[in-house]
């Protein structure tokens, strides 16, 4: 049985990027290029999404899809 990988909006950008580097594509898709930002290490996905005018729930959904390889081609 495989461990379920689940990203939540309470996780920090730094944590998500360290655990799931395949999510970089999703952050770029949403225009979130936060990797060089010092705040991103501790800022939650929800905080960052709201600061960038992005729905935290949609972002988390797409981040989790990236874990299974089920990524949509562009942000609709």
DSSP codes, 13-47: HHHHHHH-GGGHHHHHHTT--GGG-GGGGT-BHHH
State which residues form the domain around 47: 13-68
pTM summary value: 0.82
pLDDT confidence bin for 57, thresholds 50/70/90: very high
With 70 as the cut, is the pLDDT of residue 76 above it? no
Each residue of 13-50: pLDDT tens digit?
Answer: 989 988 999 999 999 999 888 777 777 778 999 999 99
* Residues shown for the chain: 76
Q: When comparing pLDDT for 1 and 46, which is higher?
A: 46
Give the count of domains, the chain. Answer: 1
Residue 34 lies in a domain: yes
At 51, which CATH number?
1.10.3910.10
Residue 37 lies in a domain: yes
The pair of three-digit structure tokens given for residue 2, joined into one six-digit string: 């495989």
pLDDT of residue 75: 47
HSE value, Cβ hemisphere, 13 Å, CA-based, for 69: 0
């Amino acid at each position: 049985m495989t461990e379920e990988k689940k990203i939540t909006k309470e996780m920090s950008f730094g944590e998500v990027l360290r655990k799931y580097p395949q999510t970089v594509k999703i952050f770029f898709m949403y225009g979130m290029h936060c990797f060089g930002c010092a705040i991103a290490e501790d800022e939650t996905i929800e905080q960052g999404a709201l600061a960038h005018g992005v729905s935290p729930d949609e972002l988390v959904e797409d981040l989790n899809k990236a874990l299974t390889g089920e990524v949509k081609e562009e942000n609709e």
